[in-house]
Chains A and B, each alone.
Chain A
Amino acid sequence: MCTLEKRGNLFILTLTGDDQHRINPKLIGDLLSLLSQVKAQATRGSALITQAQGKFFSNGFDLDWAQAAGSEQGASERLLHMVESFKPVVAALLSLPMPTIASLTGHAAACGFVFALSHDYIIMRRDRGVLYMSEVDIGLTMPDYFNAVFREKIGDASARRDLLLRGLKMKGDEAVKRGVVEAAYEGEGEVRAASVRMAEELGKRKWQGEVYAEIRKGLFPQLSAVVGLSHKTIATPKL
């Protein structure tokens, strides 16, 4: 489902296989476990890249698993369960003591897009792949933390509206232009290389992880609160 690799100072989290990397309880469990490991092994200069194999970064919650409950009520409960249990993944990323990059070589939709946005930077392909909030098209409303992610991570009000209220399928170039992603590159290889370059550059700054995480949480106070994180003010600067 997913693997963790350490390459020098870089942690590389890979969603393996050619499937849609749907977010279900198993994957959530694996992600939490691996992110714990990353946190435990963090040092000054660490950085995380999250990437995926195949056509998708992630296509959102595992609605098939929800439907397998066998009834409308059961399906709703399973969906709600996934919605709630993904919050700690967002919390883990928000409090990770190092810079994080989502390296998108495929589509990121719904919760998959939220997963990407939970990283500090997104790099994506310009020749293939879209960012897409499918909820309006399939008749689903947004969990509170989805709205918070969009509100705090995407500054442009009309971009937020286009993504959430219009179900826009946003490609790389537009995503860069509208400030949704950091950069877009041609082809899978270039995206991966650019992600490593960026991670290494950020790592070179040798930021103190705990401070980094606190500053990050301060940038996203509503989201932090909604996913159950508290904010410490660290008083001692290195003057």
Chain B
Amino acid sequence: MCSLEKRGNLFILTLTGQSVEHRLNPHLITSIIAALSQAKAQSSRGSALVTVSHGKFFCNGIDLDWVNAVARSNQEAQQHFDHLYHSLKRLVLAFISLPMPTVAAVNGHVAAAGVVLALCHDYVIMRRDRGVLYMSELDKGIGIPEVFMALFRAKISGSTRRDILLRGLKIKGEEALKMGIAEAVHDGEEGVTDAGTEMGDELAKRKWDGEVYVEIRKGLYPELCGMLGMTSNVTATPKL
């Protein structure tokens, strides 16, 4: 479902598995959370994490097949969906509390909950030549859960938020760069993946204290962190 590799100070989280679309279901989510736990346990000053994927999709949203598969009624489907939503909240929490800078190397299409996954990272790099970022909910007639809204409010400014959520735009790399969603764009899957690891290495070189880094991140996103049940720690003693 996903694999974790350590290359020097850089953790590389790869979305693997049979599914070409890397859709989020409880198995994949649990697998990612476990990998993040491992990275956290092995982290030190100057750690960083980059998430990569391969193929046409970075992540195409939640696994609706899973939601509908075992459900014998609408009520059961709703229960599965709720379960999935709670798992996604735990996934967001795991990323936001990771004590190191994080980069999403978005190699292809990213939609709905996949966008949420990408935005969980501190930085997003996209492909210039292929792939779109698309919040499909409006077109599909699905509402957007509160935690996801908080994530958008935290990470994306004003009219861009409206354009992504209320306008059903399919945003290509260059556009995402201009809109301030993506940090950089590169050509080709390898281009994006390489840029992602390069950026991870660069951020790692700053040798930031992981605990301080998380606290500063929490200060940037107080509404989201409050919703995720994260509390603030006492000010760390600086190395004066």
Q: Which residues of A contact B (CB under 8 A)?
A: 63, 66-67, 72, 75-76, 79-80, 135-144, 146-147, 150-151, 155-158, 160-161, 164-167
Contacts and interface: CB of A to CB of B under 8 A. Distances in A.
The 10 closest A-B pairs by CB, nearest first: A147-B219, A141-B215, A140-B238, A139-B209, A67-B240, A158-B180, A142-B219, A157-B157, A139-B212, A141-B235
A134 B216 CA distance: 12
B75 interface: no
A76 B208 contact: no
A32 B132 CA distance: 53
Interface of B is mostly: loop
Contact of B235 (A75, A80, A158, A161): A80
Contact of A63 (B101, B203, B216, B240): B240
Given A157-B156, A157-B157, A165-B213, A141 B219 contact: yes
Nearest to A83: B235
B175 interface: no
Contacts, number: 81
Nearest to A133: B216
Contact of B157 (A75, A146, A156, A166): A156
B207 to A, nearest CB: 9
Q: Which of B101, B180, B216, B237: most chain A CB closer than 10 A?
A: B216
Nearest to B124: A158
B239 A161 contact: no
B154 A157 contact: yes
Q: Which of A137, A141, A156: most chain B CB closer than 10 A?
A: A141
B217 to A, nearest CB: 6
Contacts of A136: 206, 208, 212-213, 216
B155 interface: yes
A126 to B, nearest CB: 22
Interface residues of B, number: 28
A66 B240 contact: yes
A227 to B, nearest CB: 16
A157 B155 contact: yes
A155 B238 contact: no
Nearest to B182: A158
Nearest to B212: A139
B236 interface: yes
Given A63-B238, A136-B216, 6 more contacts: A136-B208, A141-B212, A141-B219, A156-B180, A164-B220, A167-B206
Interface string B172-197: 00000000100100000000000000
B137 interface: no
Contacts of A158: 155, 157, 180, 183
Contacts of A150: 220
Nearest to B45: A139
Q: Which of B158, B237, B238: most chain A CB closer than 10 A?
A: B238
6 contacts: A135-B216, A142-B219, A143-B235, A150-B220, A155-B157, A161-B122
A141 B235 CA distance: 6
Contact of A139 (B156, B180, B233, B236): B236
A80 B238 CA distance: 11
A161 B222 CA distance: 13
A160 B216 CA distance: 11
Given A155-B158, A161-B220, A165-B213, A141 B240 contact: no
B180 A137 contact: no
Contacts of B217: 165
A76 B216 contact: no
A196 to B, nearest CB: 32
Nearest to A140: B238
A165 B206 contact: no
Nearest to A161: B220
A118 to B, nearest CB: 17
Q: Which of A76, A150, A151, A158: most chain B CB closer than 10 A?
A: A158
